[in-house]
Amino acid sequence: MIITYICPKCCRNLFKTGNQLKCPVGHSYDISSEGYVNLLLGNKRSGLHGDTKEMIRSRRRFLQLGLYFPIVDNLTRLISGLAVPRSAFSLLDAGCGEGYYAGNLKSALTLNGLNCDIYGTDVSKDAVKSAAKQYKDIDFSVSSVNKLPFADLQFDFLLSLFAPLAEQEFFRVLKKGGYLITVSPGARHLWTLKEQIYDHPKENPPPSFKSSLFIESSRYSVSYNIFLPENSIIRDLFDMTPYRYNTSESDYKRLSKLDSLTTEASFEFCIFKKYSDTGGNYVEIY
């Protein structure tokens, strides 16, 4: 299954020529030695967008421990239940970061006998470069979710995992009958960890995405405890979250006192369906 990229300057289809993608009017984009393509306008500064190198390293070290693998398990179950048996389908991870979920989902779906072409895109060039180095069977690109570099009606599934939501763009690139799956932190996600740092921790708000274009099919929560046996792991977990950049240095220093910790992991899964190319008003519960 071939997914068509589009030129971020003129929106014409891009075609592969050697180690470049080119459009009919001559705009061209190099395919890196790692295999990804940068389709973010102003790409000379794209490394300054999104996750920093420090966040990427922290996230990779933490995720490789498998403590968030239940997210992959749940996505595998959901997609396996929704996909048409014995037919190839396509999936976009919009805001893929360093590729952990896309890469592991590809392996899990393949083990389930499903033929899925997975694409990942993220605004952070550093994250995409890291992803492309490790997950060679996924096509990665640098772009904003607000201007996805894909032609209309390309994907059967679109994932938005802890990433910004761009309703119009998601609707545009999904096929009719396609599914948008979002994952966001639950109300008490990392609650015990937050208690160690903040004097007055706050619960996360519930998912607030209310779509005028998609119909919500289902939502559910997944919660469990995780044990963090070392201070370095606690720091990696905290450093890979947005909390790090909203925390004073005095509060952040409290992490140094923690040798180990058990805390909650809580996630909200929401599934939306695209019923038509103009929006729909029919509800389907699966």
Structure confidence at residue 282 (pLDDT):
35
Split into its structural domains, the chain has a count of 1
CA distance 110 to 87: 12
CA distances (Å), origin 200, targets 191, 194, 220, 250? 11, 9, 27, 14
Which amino acid, 250? S
Task: Say if 7 falls within a structural domain.
Answer: no
Tokens standing for residue 105: 């989902």
Give me the pLDDT at residue 138, please: 97
Reported in sequence order, the residue ranges of the chain that DSSP labels E, i.e. its strands, are 15-17, 20-22, 28-30, 37-38, 89-94, 116-122, 139-142, 155-161, 174-185, 215-228, 261-273
Which DSSP letter does residue 226 get?
E
Residue 10 lies in a domain: no
**HSE toward the beta carbon, residue 281, CA cutoff 13 A:** 0
More confident residue, 34 or 209: 34
Report the distance separating Cα 113 and Cα 131, nearest Å: 24
Indicate whether 3 belongs to any domain: no
Global confidence as pTM = 0.93
Please write the tens of the pLDDT for every residue from 53-94: 888 999 999 999 999 999 999 999 999 999 987 789 999 999
* Side-chain-facing half-sphere of 136: CA atoms under 13 Å: 2
Residue range 3-46, pLDDT digits in tens: 999 999 999 999 999 999 999 999 999 999 999 999 998 644 44
Q: Looking at residue 281, what is its pLDDT?
A: 40
CATH (domain of 185)? 3.40.50.150
Q: Establish if 264 belongs to a structural domain.
A: yes
Rounded-to-integer distance, Cα 104 and Cα 93, Å: 12
Specify if 6 maps to a domain: no
Confidence of residue 177 (pLDDT cuts 50, 70, 90): very high
pLDDT in tens, 122-174: 999 999 999 999 999 999 999 999 999 999 999 999 999 999 999 999 999 99
Per-residue pLDDT band for 50 (boundaries 50, 70, 90) equals: low
Contact assessment for residue 226 and residue 234, using Cβ atoms and an 8 Å cutoff: no
Could you say which DSSP state residue 26 is in? S
Confidence of residue 284 (pLDDT cuts 50, 70, 90): very low
Binned at pLDDT 50, 70 and 90, residue 283 comes out as very low
Residue 183 lies in a domain: yes
Structural domain containing residue 188: 15-273
pLDDT at 48 over 80: no
- Token pair, residue 129, equals 């470069």
